[in-house]
Amino acid sequence: MNSNLRNIESELVKKLKEGDQQAFAELFERFSNRLYHFALGYLGSGPIAEEIVQDVFLKIWEKRADLKPEQSFKSYIFTITFNSIRKFFIRKDLEESYKQQFAAEFMVHTSRDEERIDYEWMLKEVDRIINKLPERRREIFILSRKEELSINEIAEKLDLAPKTVKNQLTEASKFIKEELKDNNNLELILYFSLFYK
Amino acid sequence: MGRIEKKHIDRIFNRKYSIADHRMLSEGFKQGDKLEDTRELVEQHWDEFEEPQEKNKETLNRVYNQINEIIGKEKHSRKLSLIHYLTKVAAILFIPLLIASLLLWNQRNEKNQEVATLNFEAPYGIRSQFTLPDGTKGWLNSGSTLKYTAGLPSQRSVELEGEAYFQVKRDEARPFYVQTDAFDIKVLGTKFNVNTFDGEVDGDLVLESGSVQIIDRTNKNKTLMVKPGQRITYEKKLGAYYRSSVDVDEYINWIEGKLVFQNEPLKEVVKRMERYYNVEFEIKDEALPSLKFRAVLEEELLEESLRYMSLVLPIEYKIIERQKNSDGTVSRRKVIITKN
C-alpha cells in the first residue's frame, strides 16, 4: 500500500480511538463499499450484506479503545469481517439445511451429482416443488422436514390421526419423485454445471 | 471431503456453484481444524479483492445512518432524561384507558365451526387496552384497529393496522399469528411491539421477551427469528429487513402515555401527534418537514408540547379551534406550523 495512504489511515484510526465520530465516518466511507461487495459475494444477498456492514462497523466502534494505530486497519477490519461472514454463512446454511436434505433424498443419486447440481437452482427447485403440493400436504411435509417433527408430533399439533399424517407424507414423496422424473431441467442443469467445472 | 481451495470460493462468488462447493465452505467455516485454512484463503481473497466501483451510495448511507442511530443512543441517553425532566410540566392529558370497544361480533358457520370476528378500535386521541378470549392482553395505540378471529381450533390469529403492544398468552399447541400489511408474525408466548403506521419504515417490530418469528408476506418460506432486545424494520419497496439492537423501553412507553421522538423528522413527528391529540397539522414551509426532533413528552396538553417544540426548533405555531362546517359536522382542531 501507498505509504501516504497508510499514514492517513493510521491518523484516522488514532482519532477514532479517541472517540472521534468524524474519523469513524471517514473510515466507513473508505471501507464500506469494499466490505459490502465482499460480503455480497459470499452470502449472495443484499440485505444480509448490509447487515454484515452494520455488524462490522458497530463492532469497530464498540472496540475503538482496543485499536492499534500502528497496525494495518485493512487486516484489522478483515478479522471482524471474517467472523461476521462466517456467522451469517453458518446461519444461512442452517436455514437451508432441510432443502439440502431434500436434495439428498430426491435429487442426488450419485456422489458426482453433488458436484454437478447447481446449489441456487436446487434451492429454487425445492421451493417450486414444495409449493406445488396441496396446502394441507405441504404443511405436513414442511413440519416433518423443516421443523423436524415426528409423525406423532405432527398429528398432535394438527389434530389428525398419525395414520393420516403418514399417508400424507407418503403421498408427498410419491408426488415429488414423479415431479422430478418428468423434469428435463435437471439434465440441462447437470450439463451446465459440467461445463463450468 | 477434501481441502477447501480458491476455486470453490471463486465459484460461490460468481454464483455458479454446486452443492459440494457449498458444503465445502460451510464445513470450512465451522469451528475445527479446517477453520484456519479457510481463514487464510479468505484473507488472501480479501487482500486481492478488487471492489466494483459502482458505489451503492444510498444503501451505504442508510446503513451508516442506522449505525449512527444505535451509537447515538448511548450518547444521548443522559440528555434525554434532562429533557424528560424539563417537559414534566403540570398539564395532564391522560385519557382513562378504555377497555376496547366491541364494535362487531359477526358470526357465521363454517363447516360446523363457529368462527367469529372481534374488532377492537382505538380512535384518534385515545389509547385502549384489550383482552382477547385466549387471555392475550395488550395495548392499541391511537388510530389503530385489531381484528381477532375466534373459534379456530388449531391457531390464534389477529390482523393489525397501526401499532400495538402484545402480551401473548403462552400456548405451544396453538401459535399466535399477527398479520400486518408489512409482514406476518408467529408467536408462542411473549411480549412485543409492532408498528405499521406510515413512516420511515413500513413495518417495525421490537421484541421485549420470549421469541417470535417473522414470516414474509410474499414468500412464506422466508422467515426471520427475532431475539429479545432486537428491532426488525421492514422496507416494502425493497422487500428488505433490517435488524438492530435497541432499548426496548423507548419503543413501548407509549402505553404509559409517553410520546417519544428519537431524532425523527418533523413530518413523522406531526403524523404521530395528529393521532395522539386528534388534531390536524399543516406545515407551511418546505424546509421544515425534515428538521429532526428529539424529546420525551409525557402526557402534556397539545399546547404544552407545541410550546416545547417551538423552543427547540425554529418554528412558530398557531392553533385553530374546532369549527362548525356548513353541513353541521365539526372539524378537528388544526395546528399551523410556520418558520420562525
* Same-domain pairing of A191 and A114: yes
End position of a domain, from candidates A94, A129, A145: A94
Q: Last residue of some domain: A94, A125, A150?
A: A94
Please say if the pLDDT value at position B101 is more than 60.
no
Percentage of chain A beyond pLDDT 90 is: 37
Taking CA atoms, what residue in B is nearest to A104?
B19
- In tens, the pLDDT along A114-153 reads 887 888 888 988 888 898 999 899 999 999 988 888 899 8
Query: Smallest CA–CA separation between B187 and chain A, in Å?
Result: 15
Q: How far B63 CA sits from the closest chain A CA (Å)?
A: 6
- Asked if A127's CB is within 8 angstroms of B240's CB, the reply is no
- What residue of A is the nearest CA neighbor of B234? A47
Chain A residues with beta carbon closer than 8 angstroms to that of B61:
none
**CA B332/CA B241 separation, integer angstroms:** 37
Nearest to B221 among A38, A61, A127 (CB): A127
pLDDT, averaged across chain A: 85
Inspect the interface and report whether the beta carbons of A82 and B67 lie closer than 8 Å. Answer: no
Q: Do A93 and B26 touch (CB under 8 A)?
A: yes
B74-92+257-339 CATH pick, 3.55.50.30, 3.30.1490.20, 3.40.50.300, 3.40.50.150: 3.55.50.30
Are A89 and B43 an interchain contact pair (Cβ–Cβ within 8 Å)?
no
A65/A15 same-domain check: yes
Q: What's the CATH class of domain B98-250?
A: mainly beta
Test A82 with B43 for CB contact under 8 angstroms: yes
Over residues B136-152, the mean pLDDT reads 83
| Residues A131 and A71 grouped into a single domain | no
Only one residue has cell 413527528, namely B269
pLDDT value at residue A34: 94
Closest-CA distance of chain B to residue A163, Å: 19
Domain chopping of chain B, boundaries: 6-48, 74-92+257-339, 98-250
pLDDT at B122: 82
Residues A176 and A145: their CA atoms lie apart, in Å, by 14
**Residue B154: closest CA among chain A residues belongs to which residue?**
A158
> What percent of chain B is modeled with pLDDT above 90?
17
Amino acid at site B160: L
Written as nine digits, the cell of B134 is 385466549
Nearest chain B residue to A32 by CA distance is: B60
Same domain, A103 and A175: yes
Do A15 and A86 sit in the same domain of this protein?
Answer: yes
- Say whether both A88 and A106 belong to one domain: no
B63–A53 C-beta distance less than 8 A = yes
Tell me, what CATH number does A82's domain have?
1.10.1740.10
| Edge-to-edge order in the sheet of strand B223-226 | B105-110, B113-122, B144-150, B156-161, B176-179, B183-187, B212-216, B223-226
Q: How far is A178 from chain B (nearest CA, A)?
A: 22
Asked if residue A80 and residue A108 are part of one domain, the reply reads no
Say which of A44, A47, A103 has its CB closest to residue B15.
A44
* Residue (of B76, B96, B121) closest to B260 by Cα position: B76
Which of A60, A94, A128 terminates a domain? The answer is A94
Q: What's the rounded Cα separation, in Å, for the pair A85 and B9?
A: 13
Number of domain units in chain A: 2
Are residues A11 and A82 both part of a single domain?
Answer: yes
Same domain, A87 and A118: no
Claim to verify: residue A80 and residue A14 sit in the same structural domain:
yes
Please report where in the chains the cell 385515545 appears, as a residue: B126
Q: What is the CATH number of the domain that holds A156?
A: 1.10.10
- Tell me, what amino acid is at B171? D
Of the candidates B279, B282, B276, B273, the residue with the CA atom closest to the CA atom of residue B323:
B279
From A21, A54, A118, residue closest to B66, measured CB to CB? A54
Question: Does one domain contain both A19 and A49?
Answer: yes
Whether residue A37 sits in one domain with residue A13: yes
Using one digit for the tens of pLDDT, what is the confidence trace for B7-29?
999 999 988 898 889 999 999 99
Q: Percent of chain A at pLDDT above 70?
A: 89
- Quote the domain boundaries for residue A19: 3-94
